[in-house]
Amino acid sequence: MTYRILVVDDELPALDRMKDLLQQEELVEEVTLFSHAEQALEWAVLHQPDIIFLDIQMPGIHGLEFANRLLQASLRSEVVFVTAYHQYALQAFELSAVDYILKPVKQERLSQTLSRIHRRYAFTRLANREQGESKEDNHCVPPSSKDGVGLDKSRDPHLSPEVGEEHPYPRIYCLGRLRIQSANGEMKWHTAKVKELFAYLLYKGEVSLEQMIEDVFPHSEPSKGKAYVHTCVYQIRRAVQELDLQEYIQIKYSDRMYRLQLREVWQDREAFVHGVSKRAGIEAIEEQTLLYQGDWCEGLDSMWMLSYREELRDRFLWLMEDKIDYYRKHGDGRMALANARRLLTLDPWNEHYALRIAEIYMEAQEKGRAKQFILDYIEQYEREWGEPLPEAWYEQMEDILEQ
């Protein structure tokens, strides 16, 4: 997939440089340049480019106002601010910017931004497609029996609360979109950066002010970063107070260290990580995987989050592999297929997962569906990456079809 790019900057040399850099990127299909913000905004609303690189300090429409109008127009374009100024970073991310690049722009930094956007597009697109296909295909592999697996949620304190059951204590959900729910309602985040700072404290527990600035506000001067942190902490405390949760959620500060204190708060992440061991039975594994509703703090994409997000994802993936093995061993092809498709949705270009789906079709005597799935997967892969799958993959697939 390639992308249509709009660049808006009132400085012509900056426009020319961005054009030269972008034309060296394989992910770029076309580049449109504007030096007048008003004209650029009209063009963007009409043509809806995939990505907009936007200067901030411009005559006429300020870059932040430009981005705000894009939000009001419900454009789905990804916005990247390109500027020589540090001080607008917080406001930029409040407007859902995907990145904030400082001038002079370097090729490596630009490539990093485009790759991040490309991963987001690829994951979202395939996830939507696979969800639709799984609804259609889940009925095609007959289970060997109707003996369902019952889940006893009452025996482990880490397990998820029952739907519809009343809970006096707050619950923090972060496997997927970060949410805090209580008997008084769901917490409202003042800005995306406030939400990220809470996620950071939730992850770290205790952290120095300096480290927090470095990770959460990496492009800020120390004095401005300190002000950003204090503002975000104030907004978190205010949101906690609005739901009357001060007894359960507190942020303490002493000796230049911030500490998040939680009392009687249920967390899906804690239940997912500590609820059961890898040797537990299928009931416990089912419960764990049900907790995983998406990547950790989905929608927040700062660099400090990536490593832990991948760690949790990897844990989920091997739990899913265990489930698939269990259902295949017990002849329940319907459940095996549903879980294999969920795996492929999360990691769409993992050739091993594609092989597993083909194997499940073959085990159910569905050779026609296996072949069609293979053809569709090959087409999607080659369209996405512009190259064929590894030769060894084709050999493995042929072996599966000959079974």
What is the secondary structure of 155-171 as a DSSP string? Answer: G-TTSPPPTT---SS-E
Q: pLDDT at position 28, please? A: 94
Domain residues for the domain of 106 are 3-117
Question: What is the C-alpha separation between 367 and 141, in angstroms, rounded?
Answer: 11
Question: What is the C-alpha separation between 173 and 271, in angstroms, rounded?
Answer: 10
Residue 85 lies in a domain: yes
Same domain for 113 and 172: no
Residue 298 lies in a domain: no
Domain boundary among 117, 136, 154: 117
Same domain for 173 and 71: no
Token couple for 380: 């999607």
Is residue 312 classed as helix, strand or coil in its secondary structure? helix
The answer to whether 137 and 216 are in contact (CB under 8 A) is no
Q: pLDDT at position 168, please? A: 61
Question: What is the C-alpha separation between 384 and 373, in angstroms, rounded?
Answer: 16
Cα–Cα distances in angstroms (integers) from residue 224 to residues 216, 228, 253, in the given order = 12, 6, 18
Residues ≥6 apart with Cβ < 8 Å to 91: 64
Residue 92 lies in a domain: yes
Give the CATH number, domain containing residue 81: 3.40.50.2300
Q: pLDDT at position 179, please? A: 95
Residue 128 lies in a domain: no
Give the CATH number, domain containing residue 170: 1.10.10.10
User: DSSP assignment, residue 32?
Assistant: E
Mean pLDDT per block of 10 residues along the chain (403 residues) reads 93 94 94 94 93 90 84 81 68 62 88 81 52 43 32 38 53 95 91 95 95 92 89 91 91 90 92 66 82 92 90 89 89 90 87 90 89 90 88 85 75
Please, what is the angle between helix 222-242 and helix 192-204, to 10°? 90
Same domain for 173 and 88: no
Q: pLDDT at position 151, please? A: 32
Instruction: Count other C-beta atoms under 10 Å from residue 58's C-beta.
Output: 21
Same domain for 251 and 176: yes
Residue whose C-alpha is closest to residue 59's, from 131, 124, 10, 95: 10
Rounded to two decimals, the pTM is 0.56
Domain boundary among 265, 286, 313: 265
Q: pLDDT at position 276, please? A: 55
| CA 110 to chain centroid | 20
Calculate Rg over the CA atoms of the chain: 24
The answer to whether 109 and 332 are in contact (CB under 8 A) is no
Cα–Cα distances in angstroms (integers) from residue 329 to residues 94, 289, 322, 337, in the given order = 49, 19, 11, 13
Token couple for 240: 């906690």
Residue 212 lies in a domain: yes
Same domain for 177 and 92: no
Domain boundary among 233, 265, 297: 265
Number of domains in the chain: 2
The answer to whether 361 and 141 are in contact (CB under 8 A) is yes
Residue whose C-alpha is closest to residue 313's, from 336, 359, 335, 345: 345
The residue whose two tokens read 């990247």 is: 80
Provide the strand spans (E) within 211-357.
Answer: 249-254, 257-262, 266-267
Residue 137 lies in a domain: no
Residue 312 lies in a domain: no
Q: pLDDT at position 157, please? A: 38
Q: pLDDT at position 156, please? A: 39
Residue 154 lies in a domain: no
Question: What is the C-alpha separation between 120 and 247, in angstroms, rounded?
Answer: 38
Q: pLDDT at position 287, please? A: 83
